Structure 1
Amino acid sequence: MKEGEFRHGIYLTHRAALVDYATPILGSREAAEDIVQDAFIRFVPEKLRAVSGEQALGYLYRIVRNLAFDVLKHRKVEAREEKRDLPYWVAPRAEQTPEQHALFCDAIRHVSKVLAEMPIEARIAVEMHRFGGYTLDEVADHLGISTATAHRYVRQAMLRIAETIEPHPL
């Protein structure tokens, strides 16, 4: 029996158990089935030396576990990106009335005025961090300042903006 056929047989024999193993890790049977299929693609064509059935099965379980944890890591990153705390005046939205549009434009003018009155480094720090999505470390590296200074620039700017703009129910 060829090594590929041997591995294919192990996969087919233990497929249901692998799905059952991955389901509690991922929280859904559908995601577990996808992971087990991905594991099959990585497991069967391997050109490794011939190993015993137990070693091959352990290797297959390890592949499933690692792929499941990779999925969980990607989910955390995606959730973190979705939870970005952007100010209300940055988020795109549909305009409902001319009055609301005028109030929103007025708020944007206030923000622009506050940013224009700031020192150039502080303005760049705010724009990079709040609009560009850069981390404070990246902002600090770009400007050649400490991370604490970059944080202070952003915090002071956001406080000035908050003082200038009254929250409007837009």
Structure 2
Amino acid sequence: MSWDIQGLFRLHAKGIARSLTRRGMSDESAADITQDTFERVLARPPEHGVSNHNPKAYLYRVSRNLGINQQRRDALLRTVDLDSDEAREQADPSPSPEHIVYSRQCLLQTYRALEQLPERTRRAFEMHRLGERTIAEVGEELGISTTRAWTLIHQAYRHLLSATEEE
């Protein structure tokens, strides 16, 4: 016996999902279990020796069993709605003291590395990175070509990376 899974899906998927939502499942869970039902049938079709085979009844039975298993799992797990006040209380948005100290040390290293750059290179980098100007705008303001502005900015990046990695 060979089942036309695509045909069965077209015929019964909506009905299976509706039956699961009538049992109290959300639309998303019902859709997931409906898909799982057909995956299960693809992986393990009914035995060949079954004389009375009804594909629709078999699919609904598999979906019902998967739905029961899902409801049992959900009953064991405590979930919290992410929009609730309880969820906001559990998550601490402030960084840890260690993270604050580490961030300050990284910032200090960056300032020191910027001070080591030649004036024009530092200025090009700051205009581009901090001033949010394009490379063409940096070149125009400094009176250099776009290629030279890019070279200065690139040198500044390389210097900052190497200086912060060493410390």
TM range (shorter): 0.3 to 0.5
Tell me the TM-score normalised to structure 1 length: 0.40
Q: Larger Rg: 1 or 2?
A: 2
Tell me the TM-score normalised to structure 2 length: 0.41
